[in-house]
Amino acid sequence: MKKMLKTLAIATAGLLVLAGVASATEGQKDAKAISYSFEGPFGTFDKGQLQRGYKVYKEVCASCHSMRLVSFRNLSEHGGPGFSVEQVKALAATFTVNDGPGNDGEMFDRPGLPSDRFPSPFANGQAAAAANGGAVPPDLSLITKFRPGWYGTFNQLLNGIGGPQYVYSVLTGYEEPTAEIKAEMPEGKHYNPYFANGHFISMAPPLVDGQVTFDDGAPNTVDAMARDVSAFLAWTAEPKMEERKSLGFMVLIYLAVLALLLYFVKKKIWADQH
């Protein structure tokens, strides 16, 4: 027993050290510890929030960031924002997709179809960098898995790696640099102490209060829009989360019943040996 406890303690310490290393970009501020509906073992996505988050992505972020691992049709699948098939057809068509080559050997643009993926607005990486002061806007499909946000040991263990918190913190974390910091800041960059890749980010603050109008009349402050779009990006990174959780729960119930049955079978088989 003592040995087991010791092993457990070492394993836990190891985990904490690893998590600490992952988050230790010099001087980066911890992510803001906001909470979401989808955290914890029974948490689910809030469909209204995912729909609002989609709208923020579409109207603001999509002019720079692609989501190459997400298809439009995913938006009507179980466990997602719950758009209807008709709605998805209509919203896919608002994107322009480069396709081809056609019969004349040339590539051509056409409206998006539900089977298409969220395209990049730029023809290639060079065009993207040229339009953004030398930095390429990263694909956002998996950003909430790629960038963990450190927001406290217990949060980290219980609520997940903090990817959505990281995105929220970057979007709401622009600060006025002190004179000292300003002197170091390269031309065309912005000061954001939450950004994982140094404090200077090439993305100008993308959100301003009231920018997107939501159909459900929900608040559209920078804070509210940042929550909604970060929740949406948590879904794009793990569209099957709800299925995974309910399957996991069923498996636990199954194992509990199985353990009980095995216990009684054992008792019965060994009954006359006692």
The tokens 């080559």 sit on which residue?
101
Q: Which of residues 222-241 bind ligand HEC (CB under 6 A)?
A: 229
Is residue 184 within 8 A of residue 219, CB to CB? The reply is: no
Q: Is the dihedral of CA 49, 43, 118, 74 positive or negative?
A: negative
| Span from 26-34, 62-70, 251-259, 263-271 in contact with ligand HEC (CB under 6 A) | 62-70
Integer Cα distance of 107 and 40 in angstroms: 46
Which is closer to ligand HEC, CB of 117 or CB of 147? 147
Rounded to 5°, the CA angle 147-153-156 comes to 45
Is residue 39 within 8 A of residue 165, CB to CB? The reply is: no
Integer Cα distance of 105 and 153 in angstroms: 56
Alpha carbon 203 to its chain centroid, in Å, reads: 18
Task: Please state the closest distance from residue 118 (CB atom) to ligand HEC, in A.
Answer: 13
**Mask for 144-173, x = binds ligand HEC (CB under 6 A):** ---x-------------------x--xx--
- Rg of the chain over Cα atoms, rounded to whole angstroms, equals 24
Integer Cα distance of 207 and 233 in angstroms: 16
Please pick, from the candidates 50, 143, 224, 241, the single residue that binds ligand HEC as defined by CB under 6 A: 143
Please pick, from the candidates 202, 205, 214, 223, the single residue that binds ligand HEC as defined by CB under 6 A: 202
* 56 is a site residue for ligand HEC (CB under 6 A): yes
* 135 is a site residue for ligand HEC (CB under 6 A): yes
Which is closer to ligand HEC, CB of 75 or CB of 171? 171
Please pick, from the candidates 50, 60, 91, 161, the single residue that binds ligand HEC as defined by CB under 6 A: 60
| Count of residues near ligand HEC by CB under 6 A | 23
Which is closer to ligand HEC, CB of 89 or CB of 202? 202
Give the tokens for residue 239. 């569209």
> What is the binding site for ligand HEC (CB under 6 A)?
56, 60-61, 63-65, 132, 135, 137-138, 143, 147, 167, 170-171, 196-197, 201-203, 206-207, 229
